[in-house]
Amino acid sequence: MSETAKIEIEGKSYEFPVVTGSENEKAIDIKKLRGTTGCITIDPGFKNTGSTTSAITYLDGENGILRYRGYPIEQLAEKATFLEVAFLLIYGELPTKSELENFQESITKHTLVHEDMKQFFEAYPAKAHPMGVMASMVCSLSTFYPESQDPNRPKEAIDLTMHRLIAKLPTLAAMSYKNAMRHPFVYPKNELGYCENFLNMMFSMPTEEYTPDPVVAEALNKLLILHADHEQNCSASTVRIVGSSQANLYASISAGVSALWGPLHGGANQAVIEMLDKIQADGGDLEKWVAKAKDKNDPFRLMGFGHRVYKNFDPRAKIIKKACDDVLEKLGVEDPALDIAKKLEKIALEDPYFVERGLYPNVDFYSGIIYKALNIPTEMFTVMFALGRLPGWIAQWKEMVENKEPIGRPRQIYTGENQRDYVSIDKR
Ligand code: ACO
């Protein structure tokens, strides 16, 4: 007998099926709720709403578990390459040797962007935030590949769009940085690995030789893997919902980039470093800043703390904290921001306000410190997050299309005025 849930409304009882996931998570299937009861559910921020069933990422916020396609994040971050993880997320299985070679070859072949795109970059002010540039550039790719706008394309054509995106995003990211510096663009080098190529496009100059440091490339590989997917978060849900209207993949990913930009989501990594710098410049009185974060009349929040689903610990933060120590030691970097971050973490974790609310450091708390050590400028931190999250967004979009999910269209409970008659302006 399959499980059901009973809902009673105005003395009448209704039964709804219960859906059970492969890790035994349960949901009440209310697809027929409005049709049978006339009611809808209300859940601002979708705190209790499952928008889909998904076989991509499993996340248990209470126990700090994160797995991509069943593989623990700890193992992937330790042993895999970012492109291997991208393949896993998108196609569902770890690639065989030849599958990975073909995938890498396809990605490598498409790293160049159309020369005309250079003019778009040059038209932006030097101070343009790179996330604004990235969102526009990703959407602009659709204008160079108009065939991507056909929702009924064959699988091979969709694969090509997905590969183009993975190939071109690092090129666009590095171009947005070089443009902000008003430095010449560096073209992709196809003999380099994915992370090395990105570092080369970011830091190579016509005036001197640049060889990507393997420590830096390895740290970047790990960070990209840690960011690669996180199930139905704000940006992934955005990608799915935009894609559900059959908007093309470039437009859907561009919407994801915009959603990620906010400081409550991916923009938090930039906000964390700005906060740590501010605390340091203010004399480093951590008790004062923790008190501000607790004060409900003060809009200040401890950036990098708290998470919608992790209420115990964020497994990515654990891995990043260790990686942060390793990278700083290997590169011989001493960053006072790291000391402040560690002290802040200690104070907050002992404070009942944070403990009671399950507020722990999230992935963004330490990632900014590593990016800083890798010489990535603060405004580029969220772009780095977007590079990592891209395969996740693609996988979420692909699953939504393959599941033939209906267009995303929530309902509402209207609380405005009832019908009233128009009053002409001289009588108001
Ligand atoms: N500092 C101080 N108080 C906080 C913080 C914080 N960082 N985060 C949450 N709280 C408090 C809230 O004021 C609220 O208190 P109350 O119950 O007394 O009203 C309680 O904790 C619950 O917070 P909500 O905002 O309701 O939780 P929600 O799940 O909606 O928000 C979020 C999660 C947005 C991540 C929040 O914790 C936050 O703003 N954190 C700082 C920004 C950040 O680091 N974002 C990155 C998230 S990770 C990612 O997207 C990759």
User: How many other C-beta atoms can be found within 10 angstroms of the C-beta atom of residue 238?
Assistant: 23
Write down all domains in the chain, each with its CATH number in brackets: 4-50 (2.20.28), 72-263+378-402 (1.10.580.10), 268-373 (1.10.230.10)
pTM of the predicted model over 0.85: yes
Relative to the CA of 234, which ligand 1 atom is closest?
50
Question: Mind listing the pLDDT tens digit for each residue in 121-150?
Answer: 989 998 899 999 999 999 999 999 999 999
Among the options 29, 159, 213, 265, which is catalytic? 265
Rounded to an integer, the average pLDDT of 292-306 is: 94
Q: Which residues pair with 66 in a beta bridge?
A: 59
Question: Mind listing the pLDDT tens digit for each residue in 348-395?
Answer: 889 999 999 989 888 888 888 889 888 899 999 999 999 999 999 999
Predicted local confidence at residue 159, as pLDDT: 97
Q: Is 364 a catalytic residue?
A: yes
Helices 363-373 and 336-350: crossing angle in degrees, nearest 10, is 170
The DSSP code for 205 is B
Closest CA to 201 of 221, 218, 182, 185: 185
Determine the Cα–Cα distance for residues 256 and 389; give it in Å rounded to an integer.
Answer: 9
Q: Is 307 a catalytic residue?
A: yes
Rounded to an integer, the average pLDDT of 197-209 is: 93
Three-state DSSP class for 62? coil
Q: Which residues pair with 72 in a beta bridge?
A: 67
Closest CA to 272 of 228, 295, 305, 299: 305
The residue to mutate among 260, 297, 305, 309, having the most atoms of ligand 1 within 8 angstroms of its beta carbon, is 305
Determine the Cα–Cα distance for residues 235 and 114; give it in Å rounded to an integer.
Answer: 27
Cα of 24 to ligand 1 centre, how many Å?
Answer: 27
Ligand 1: residue whose CA is nearest its atom 12: 357
Ligand 1: residue whose CA is nearest its atom 37: 306
Cα of 136 to ligand 1 centre, how many Å?
Answer: 29
Q: Which residues pair with 15 in a beta bridge?
A: 6
Q: What are phi and psi of 301, to 5 degrees?
A: -125, 150
In sequence order, what DSSP letters do the residues of 109-173 get, joined into one string?
HT----TTHHHHHHHS-TT--HHHHHHHHHHHHHHH-GGGG-TT--HHHHHHHHHHHHHHHHHHH
The DSSP code for 7 is E
Cα of 301 to ligand 1 centre, how many Å?
Answer: 8
Cα of 16 to ligand 1 centre, how many Å?
Answer: 33
Question: Mind listing the pLDDT tens digit for each residue in 84-114?
Answer: 999 999 999 999 999 999 999 999 999 999 9
Among the options 110, 227, 230, 307, which is catalytic? 307
Predicted local confidence at residue 1, as pLDDT: 62
Determine the Cα–Cα distance for residues 294 and 331; give it in Å rounded to an integer.
Answer: 36
